[in-house]
């Protein structure tokens, strides 16, 4: 059983309080938010977490996180997957493979198909050697990289001149992580600066919107 000393206060993320005090003040509120069946399921999931052998430092870091900040679109996807698959030690190891299959398998294939062998090698090197993809950063998570998969699919669709597909994939990426909308600035600048002088085939830029 981990020993947790302090917990971050989400109403004011700059503060923390002793874990025992947080527990005594909120245990009743936590029970009220669950039906008896959901509370039993939550306890079972927590038991599974404890059985995985993560140390105190991991638990302390988790309880110092600033809370759930994913978009509503991610909440729908993540909630659907999490509730469809029973959580146990085996599925805890298997769920992250959803991201690996998308990024390395399908993502690698569409980059190769769209750009060729050298770009896909660079893609693998970049993804495999950056800190944000390390095990210490994304340990046990799933659906964490859906946004970048859709972004890659959008770029590959643009390369193949499939502008409607590119717009759809970029919209999906933006729905999962809103600041991806800034990626629309470059084609928007080209469209508006060339408006009225663009040949018909270049007007496909507007399909991205």
- Print the domain residue range for 111: 94-208
Cβ atoms of residues 157 and 163 within 8 Å: yes
Nearest C-alpha neighbor of 115 from the set 163, 153, 141, 74: 153
Query: Percent of the chain at pLDDT above 90?
Result: 16
> Which pLDDT score is estimated for 30?
81
Same domain, 48 and 111: no
Segments of 91-132 assigned E as strands: none
160 belongs to a structural domain: yes
82 belongs to a structural domain: no
Instruction: Tell whether pTM > 0.85.
Output: no
> What does the pLDDT average to over 97-123?
92
Same domain, 30 and 120: no
> What does the pLDDT average to over 24-43?
85
> Which pLDDT score is estimated for 203?
55
103 belongs to a structural domain: yes
Tell me which of 36, 69, 102 is where a domain ends.
Answer: 69
Structure tokens at 103: 């990024």
Same domain, 129 and 51: no
Same domain, 105 and 198: yes
Same domain, 26 and 102: no
Report the alpha-carbon angle 128-131-135, nearest 5: 75
Among the residue ranges 32-36, 148-152, 154-158, the one predicted with the least confidence is 32-36
Same domain, 61 and 100: no
Same domain, 27 and 99: no
What's the structural domain count of the chain?
Answer: 2
H-helix segments, 85-184: 89-94, 97-100, 108-115, 117-128, 135-138, 146-159, 163-176
Rounded Cα distance, 90 and 137, in Å: 20
Same domain, 100 and 5: no
76 belongs to a structural domain: no
């Amino acid at each position: 059983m981990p020993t947790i000393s302090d917990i971050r206060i989400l109403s004011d993320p700059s503060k923390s309080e002793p874990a025992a005090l947080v527990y005594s003040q909120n245990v009743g509120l936590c029970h009220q938010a669950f039906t008896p069946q959901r509370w039993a399921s939550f306890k079972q999931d927590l038991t599974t977490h404890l059985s995985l052998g993560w140390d105190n430092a991991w638990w302390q870091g988790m309880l110092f996180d600033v809370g759930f900040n994913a978009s509503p679109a991610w909440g729908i996807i993540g909630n659907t997957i999490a509730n469809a698959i029973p959580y146990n030690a085996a599925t805890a190891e298997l769920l992250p493979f959803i991201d690996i299959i998308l990024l390395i398998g399908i993502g690698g294939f569409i980059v190769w198909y769209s750009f060729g062998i050298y770009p896909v090698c660079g893609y693998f090197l970049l993804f495999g050697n950056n800190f944000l993809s390390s095990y210490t950063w994304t340990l046990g998570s799933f659906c964490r990289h859906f946004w970048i998969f859709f972004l890659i699919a959008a770029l590959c669709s643009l390369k193949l001149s499939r502008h409607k597909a590119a717009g759809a994939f970029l919209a999906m990426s933006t729905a999962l992580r809103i600041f991806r909308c800034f990626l629309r600035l470059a084609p928007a600048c080209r469209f508006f600066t060339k408006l009225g002088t663009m040949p018909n085939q270049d007007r496909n830029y507007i399909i991205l919107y």
